[in-house]
Structure 1
Amino acid sequence: MRILIFLLLAVCALAGLQTWRIGGLHDEADQAQRIIGTLSAGIESRDNVINRLNDDAVTRERQEQSLRTQLARASQEARDREVHIQRLLNENQEIRDWYSDRLPDGISRMHARPAFASAADYLHWLSGGNQLPDTGKLTGH
């Protein structure tokens, strides 16, 4: 009878131990589920960012292509303008003389400016005066 009671107590102890271990496993499973949920949300967020960046890259690529096309068009127009000017210079002695003459001093000063280190230096230079000659007076040109 003692052996039977001892076996019964051992079985109850084992059952209690197993119940305790199962409870711990449930807690670990719940914690794992929370971690999986957090990681899944992080992966979804990362995928959204990747998709947005890919869309931005495609948009920028299209914009870059458009700018390259505009630049090519502007370059062609500049070449055409230079060819036209050169043709006019070759055809007309009066235009050739005007083109080769020196600009008046006031106009030359408008085109000549020092190098600036910052926008503030440029604004200071602009407000510094640099008066142009009176247009009512002859400049000798």
Structure 2
Amino acid sequence: MRILLVLLLAACALAGLQTWRISDLTDKADQAQRIIGTLSAGIESRDNAIHRLSDDALRRERQEQSLRTQLSRAGQLARDREIHIQRLLNENQEMRDWYSARLPDGIGRMHQRPAFASAADYLRWLSGGHELPDTGKRTGH
């Protein structure tokens, strides 16, 4: 009977030990699930950021292409305009004389401006109140 009692106590101790181990493993599994949830949320957030950045890069690439196309068109228009002006100059002596004539001083000063480092510098210069010459006065021509 003592052996039976010792075996019964050993079985109870073993059952208690197993219950404690199962409880510990359950806690570790719950902790692992929380870590997996946190990592999944981080991965989803990263994927969303990558998608957003990819969309932004594609949009900027399209804008750049559009600007390059516009620049190309503007360059072609400028070349066409220059060719047209050159053709007119070659055809007409009066036009050549007018084109090569010196501008009056007042108009020449209107075309002069300092070099600007930025658009803000240009805006400050514009709002600086630089006076144009009085058109009622003779400019020397």
Q: TM-score range by the shorter chain?
A: 0.7 to 0.9
Q: Secondary structure at the match of 1:70?
A: helix
Contact (CA 8 Å) 1:116, 1:122: kept in 2 or not?
Answer: no
**Under a length normalisation based on structure 2, what TM-score does the superposition of the two structures give?**
0.86
Deviation at 1:81, TM superposition (A): 0.3
Could you list the structure 1 runs, at least 4 aligned residues long, displaced by more than 4 angstroms after superposition. none
1:101-129 per-residue CA deviation (whole Å, 9 max, x = no partner) reads 22211122122222346636862675354
Paired residue for 1:58? Answer: 58
Paired residue for 2:124? Answer: 123
Alpha-carbon RMSD across the aligned residues, in angstroms, is 2.2
Query: Identity over the aligned pairs, expressed in percent?
Result: 78
Q: Name which structure has the greater RCO, CA cutoff 8 Å, separation 6+.
A: 2
Separation (CA, whole Å) in 2 of partners of 1:132 and 1:68: 37
Alignment coverage as a number of residue pairs: 140
**Under a length normalisation based on structure 1, what TM-score does the superposition of the two structures give?**
0.86
The verdict on how the C-alpha distance between 1:86 and 1:120 changes in structure 2, with shifts beyond 3 A counting, is closer
1:6-49 per-residue CA deviation (whole Å, 9 max, x = no partner) reads 12111111110110010011011111111111111111121112
Gaps of 5+ in 1: none
Gaps of 5+ in 2: none
Paired residue for 2:98? Answer: 98
Paired residue for 2:135? Answer: 135
Paired residue for 1:30? Answer: 30
Q: How does 1:76-87 map to 2 (within 5 A)?
A: 76-87=76-87
